[in-house]
């Protein structure tokens, strides 16, 4: 069961208050400027070779916020569990010596924020590294709302003076930052992919993660905007939700293209990209498209490794930091 529950759960808030109030009380007796910190909340990956996408975003955020500590957090329980096992696997660590310690000991957003508060940081901005405002972002938002709602008998003992949450790459509901503008910015960041596909005379295909419990119509909107902007056969399908592989295949047949350039529409090129998209099993998209008569080239590149895409998160964080209150 996930720790992140929807709404202001009284039991969760009570537990958080007990956990956070004591260190908060000690810190509030110190005078001086409020200490600021940033948390980058990604779904995560267990693939060491895919970490460069997340670390590229972190590097850009650090450059845009000099002097402010930037911490990573993974929202996926499964992925964090894999890293926790590796903490006691010295052979694995020796074989993967390049993995940063902050990844090996990565925590969830709640623990990451709690540790920062314990160190005296009371102004915390959390930037979502998710693609769209789906299940993972909703849980993260609920967590932030819960933490922000913590009160104390004496105002000086409230654990956080300021909390902000930056929206995902393709935006979130609301009228402050229209999500269609965020889609347009995302489309512009992918111009290089379109140019690469044109040189190959290939249709450009993206595999998104999607979700079975949230509407994934934003992927269809992204596809439409890509096609309108570049006037080229560009298609987006999802592992979960709509549009699925069959929707993608039907659209491809109408394009007239026989060559395909396929890339993951995910921040990292991890398990889904390596296996569901580019794997050699019969149910991988590469194999199924090949059997359907297409010549397929796959590229294992996470969106986070694209500077233009990473800059979207930097901008959204800046927007969140400028808000007088956390949205919504």
d(CA 313, CA 159): 26
pLDDT at 240: 94
pLDDT at 314: 99
Same fold, 10-175+307-322 and 191-302: yes
Measured CA angle at 86 (ends 83, 91), to 5 deg: 150
pLDDT at 22: 47
| Model pLDDT for residues 193-241, shown as the tens digit of each residue | 999 999 999 999 999 999 988 889 999 999 999 999 999 999 999 999 9
pLDDT at 33: 86
Domain made up of 10-175+307-322: CATH architecture:
3-Layer(aba) Sandwich (3.40)
48 contacts: CB under 8 Å, gap ≥ 6: 96, 98, 99
Q: Is 166 or 22 the better-scoring residue by pLDDT?
A: 166
d(CA 146, CA 140): 10
Domain made up of 191-302: CATH architecture:
3-Layer(aba) Sandwich (3.40)
Between the alpha carbon of residue 186 and those of residues 43, 65, 224, 229, 242, the distances in Å are 19, 22, 13, 12, 19
pLDDT at 323: 86
Task: Check if the beta carbon of residue 189 is closer than 8 Å to that of residue 227.
Answer: no
Question: Does the structure show a pLDDT above 70 at 18?
Answer: no
| Model pLDDT for residues 24-51, shown as the tens digit of each residue | 444 444 567 899 999 999 999 999 999 9
The angle that helices 179-189 and 307-322 make with each other, rounded to 10 degrees, is: 150
Helix (H) / strand (E) element for 9: namely none
> What is the pLDDT of the chain when averaged over all its residues?
91
- Respond yes or no on whether the N-terminal peptide bond of residue 185 is cis (omega within 30° of 0): no
Task: Please report, for the chain, the start and end positions of each structural domain, with discontinuous segments joined by +.
Answer: 10-175+307-322, 191-302
Mean local confidence (pLDDT), 266-272: 95
Q: Is 34 or 192 the better-scoring residue by pLDDT?
A: 192
| Model pLDDT for residues 85-141, shown as the tens digit of each residue | 999 999 999 999 999 999 999 999 999 999 999 999 999 999 999 999 999 999 999
Q: What percent of the chain has pLDDT over 70?
A: 89
pLDDT at 19: 53
């Amino acid at each position: 069961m996930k720790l992140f529950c929807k709404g202001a759960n009284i039991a969760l808030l009570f537990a958080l208050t007990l956990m956070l109030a004591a260190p908060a009380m000690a810190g509030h007796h110190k005078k001086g400027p409020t200490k600021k910190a940033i948390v980058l909340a990604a779904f995560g990956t267990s693939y060491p070779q895919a970490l460069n996408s997340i670390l590229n975003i972190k590097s850009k955020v650090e450059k845009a916020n000099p002097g402010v500590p930037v911490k990573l957090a993974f929202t996926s329980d499964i992925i964090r569990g894999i890293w926790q096992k590796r903490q006691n696997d010295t052979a694995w660590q020796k074989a993967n010596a390049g993995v940063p310690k902050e990844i090996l000991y990565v925590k969830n957003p709640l623990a990451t924020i709690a540790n920062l508060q314990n160190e005296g940081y009371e102004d915390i901005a959390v930037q979502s590294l998710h693609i769209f405002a789906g299940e993972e972002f909703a849980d993260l938002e609920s967590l932030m709302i819960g933490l922000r709602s913590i009160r104390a008998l004496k105002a000086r003992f409230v654990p956080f003076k300021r909390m902000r949450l930056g929206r995902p790459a393709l935006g979130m509901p609301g009228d402050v930052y229209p999500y269609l503008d965020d889609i347009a910015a995302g489309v512009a960041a992918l111009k290089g992919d379109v140019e690469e596909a044109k040189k190959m005379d290939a249709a450009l295909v993206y595999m998104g993660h999607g979700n079975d419990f949230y509407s994934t119509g934003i992927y269809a909107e992204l596809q439409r905007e890509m096609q309108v902007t570049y006037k080229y056969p560009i298609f987006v399908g999802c592992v979960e939700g709509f549009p699925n592989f069959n929707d993608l295949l039907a659209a491809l047949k109408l394009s007239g293209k026989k060559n395909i350039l396929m890339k993951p529409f995910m921040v990292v090129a991890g398990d889904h990209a390596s296996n569901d998209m580019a794997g050699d099993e019969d149910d991988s998209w590469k194999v199924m498209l090949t059997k359907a008569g297409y010549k397929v080239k796959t590229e294992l590149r996470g969106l986070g490794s694209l500077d233009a895409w990473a800059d979207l998160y930097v901008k959204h964080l800046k927007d969140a930091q400028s808000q007088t209150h956390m949205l919504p």
